[in-house]
Chain A
Amino acid sequence: MSQFSRFKKPILVFLTVIFLIFWIRDNGSKPSVSANRPDIAQALKNSQTVKYPPNLLNRYLYGNGEGDARVDSTQYMSWWNKLLYKLTNWSHEPKIVIILAANEGGGVLKWKNEQDWAIERLSINNKKTYAKQHGYGLTIKDQTVAKRYSHEFREGWQKVDILRQAMREFPNAEWFWWLDLDTLIMEPQFSLEDHIFNRLENVTSRTLQDFNPLNIPLDIPYVDYTEELNLLITQDCGGFNLGSFLIKNTEWSHMLLELWWDPALYEQKHMYWEHKEQDALEALYASQGWIRSRVGFLPLRSINSFPPGACSEFQGDKRFFYNDQEKDFMVNMAGCNFGRDCWDEMQYYTRLLEDKNRKWFSRLFR
Chain B
Amino acid sequence: MVLKPKYKLKPGSKKSWKWPLGISKLGSLQKSFKQLTPLQKKLISILTAFTLLLYFLSSVFQMKSSSGKVYPIEHGYYQNEIPASRQYIFPYIEHGGILKEIGIKGLFNLRTELDGETKFVLNPQDKPLSDEEKKKPADQILLVKKSFLDHGKLIYRKENNHPEIVIVTLIDFENYPVETMVNIVQNRVDYAQKHNYGVYVRWVQEFIPMLKYQDTEHNYEFIKPLVMRAAMHAFPKAKHLMFVDQDAIIMKKNLPLEQHILNPKVLETGLLRTTPVVPGSNIKTYKNFQTAGTKIIIPQGSDGVFDLSAFLVSTDLYGKAFLEFLIDPLFMDYAWSSFKSSLGHLLQWHPQLLKRTAIVTNKIIAPTYDPVKGIAAKNKDTPPVLHYTEGDLVISLNGCKLRGSCASDINTFYEQTKK
Q: Interface on A for B, CB 8 Å cutoff?
A: 8-10, 13, 38-40, 42-43, 46-47, 50-52, 54, 57-58, 60-62, 64-67, 201-202, 205-207, 219, 221-225, 251-252, 254-255, 258-259, 262-265, 267-269, 283-284, 287-291
Contact = CB atoms under 8 A, between A and B. Distances in A.
Contacts of A201: 66, 69
A252 B352 CA distance: 11
Contact of A66 (B66, B316, B351): B316
B61 interface: no
A269 B76 contact: no
Interface in B64-102: 66, 69, 71-77, 79
Given A65-B318, A290-B317, A60 B334 contact: no
B79 A287 contact: no
Nearest to A63: B317
B186 interface: no
Contacts of B314: 65
A269 B329 CA distance: 13
B77 A221 contact: yes
Given A66-B317, A67-B316, A268-B333, A60 B352 contact: yes
Contacts of A207: 71
Interface string B97-135: 000000000000000000000000000100000000000
A1 to B, nearest CB: 9
B147 to A, nearest CB: 21
B350 A259 contact: yes
Given A207-B71, A222-B76, A225-B71, A58 B293 contact: yes
A52 B356 CA distance: 17
B229 A222 contact: yes
Nearest to A283: B330
Interface of B: 6, 9, 17, 20, 66, 69, 71-77, 79, 124, 229, 233, 264, 286-288, 290-293, 295, 314, 316-318, 320-321, 324-325, 328-331, 333-334, 342, 345-346, 349-353, 355-356
B331 A43 contact: no
Contacts of B124: 219
A259 B321 contact: yes
Contacts of B290: 42-43, 46, 54, 58, 61
Contact of B321 (A255, A264, A265, A268): A255
Contacts of A290: 317, 320-321, 324
Nearest to B236: A224
B292 A39 contact: yes
Given A222-B233, A290-B320, A267 B72 contact: no
B229 to A, nearest CB: 7
A208 B134 CA distance: 38
26 contacts: A39-B292, A39-B293, A42-B290, A50-B288, A52-B287, A52-B288, A61-B356, A65-B318, A201-B66, A219-B72, A221-B75, A221-B76, A221-B77, A223-B74, A225-B72, A252-B317, A254-B352, A255-B321, A258-B351, A259-B350, A262-B325, A262-B350, A265-B334, A269-B330, A289-B74, A289-B324
B74 A222 contact: yes
A65 B79 contact: no
Contacts of A283: 330
B330 A65 contact: no
Given A65-B318, A201-B69, A288-B328, 11 more contacts: A9-B17, A43-B293, A51-B288, A58-B290, A61-B290, A61-B293, A222-B76, A222-B320, A252-B317, A259-B350, A262-B331
Nearest to B356: A61
Name, among A57, A61, A221, A252, the residue most crowded by chain B CB atoms within 10 Å (CB to CB).
Answer: A221
B295 A262 contact: no
Contact of A268 (B334, B342, B345): B334
Name, among A13, A224, A252, A267, the residue most crowded by chain B CB atoms within 10 Å (CB to CB).
Answer: A224
A264 B318 CA distance: 20
B210 to A, nearest CB: 10
B277 to A, nearest CB: 15
Contact of B345 (A38, A64, A66, A264): A264
A254 B329 CA distance: 22
A268 B71 contact: no
A40 B317 CA distance: 20
Contacts of B345: 264
B352 A258 contact: yes
Contacts of A40: 292
Contacts of B288: 46-47, 50-52, 54, 57-58
A8 B3 CA distance: 12
Contacts of A61: 290, 292-293, 355-356
Name, among A39, A206, A262, the residue most crowded by chain B CB atoms within 10 Å (CB to CB).
Answer: A262
A70 to B, nearest CB: 11
A65 B350 contact: no
A265 B355 contact: no
Given A58-B293, A252-B317, A50 B287 contact: yes
Nearest to B329: A287
Nearest to A254: B352
A160 to B, nearest CB: 12
A12 B349 CA distance: 63
